[in-house]
Amino acid sequence: MKLGLNGKNVIITGGSAGIGYACAKGLISEGANLIIVGRDKEKLGNASTSLKEIAQGNQIFTISQDLTDSIAAERIAKKAILKLGKIDILINNAGSARAGSFWKLTDQHFIDAWNLKLLGYIRMIKEVGSHMKDQGHGRILNIIGTGGKTPSPTFLPGGTANAALLNFTKGISNELAESGIRINSISPGVTATDRAEHLAKQKAEVKGITFEEQIEIDTASNPLGRMVEPEEIASMALLLVSDLISSITGADIVIDNGKQPGF
């Protein structure tokens, strides 16, 4: 398949690890120019060095910003446009939420999850989307999560952020379409990243079981009996931000080994 991503300019939040890094690798191999965003400068530097090894003249820049800061999105958009001139694609991916028993979670756990993932994605869409509106085209992809449609009692801060993001993605898609901008989302199930390990440890603690037992539950409880690999999410991400299926917008694609019980 020819994805036509050569020379496209892309911002990936959380591009230094996990799913975001897998998307970065895929896009670099396709000849895109990248801005990867994260907080930890060393992690960003290491990711950038590895990505440069597979680049073929395409550019990679890093921006260190904490997306819980309400003006981070504005700073990222300004810097990105300064470095690359225009932005064709935005992948919103930086997110993390505390798992745990509802009775032990505080308001702050919910506020932190909503501030980083829900408001972080919305702020990036406002800043980068207004630039895309002016140029009359753009592609946005939100990495959400199956907890948005299939809630779990031990993942409520993240699940509620994801549910709101599904609503937002569909809600804004018609308006963005008027400006030639498509927006879609991917909802991964448990995916083999550092974050999945942290979550498994937190869930194991709530249930009083070992980390290994929680991983066994996570994998055995889905029909295909395995974890999703970050590269699988990246393959779908590349397809959705390409123009290969240019009639898809406002859609959510679930990649979860068949675990989600309904639509």
Out of 48, 184, 191, 214, name the contact with ligand NAP by CB under 6 A. Answer: 191
Nearer to ligand NAP, 134 or 197 (CB): 197
Does 16 contact ligand NAP by CB under 6 A? Answer: yes
Does 259 contact ligand NAP by CB under 6 A? Answer: no
CA distances, 171 to each of 102, 184, 195, 249, 250 (Å) = 29, 11, 28, 11, 8
Residue nearest to ligand NAP (CB): 18
The 124-163 contact track toward ligand NAP, x by CB under 6 A, reads: -------------------x-x------------------
> Interacting stretch for ligand NAP, rule CB under 6 A, among 24-32, 39-47, 165-173, 203-211?
39-47
Looking at the chain, how many residues does it have? 263
Helix, strand, or coil (residue 175): helix
Q: Which DSSP helix (H) or strand (E) runs through 240?
A: helix 230-241
**Residue 24 neighbours by CB under 8 Å, 6+ apart:** 12, 15, 34, 36, 47, 51
CB of 8 to ligand NAP, least distance (A): 21
Applying CB under 6 A, the site for ligand NAP has a residue count of 30
DSSP 214-255: HHHHHHHTSTT-SPBPHHHHHHHHHHHHSSTTTT--S-EEEE
Residue keyed to tokens 């993390």: 96
Out of 11, 30, 38, 99, name the contact with ligand NAP by CB under 6 A. Answer: 38
Does 42 contact ligand NAP by CB under 6 A? Answer: no
Asked if 102 and 53 count as a contact pair (C-beta separation under 8 A), the reply is no
Nearer to ligand NAP, 39 or 86 (CB): 39
Does 193 contact ligand NAP by CB under 6 A? Answer: yes
Q: What is the CA radius of gyration of the chain?
A: 18
Point out which residues bind ligand NAP (CB under 6 A): 13-14, 16-20, 37-40, 43, 66-68, 93-96, 116-117, 143, 145, 188, 190-191, 193-196
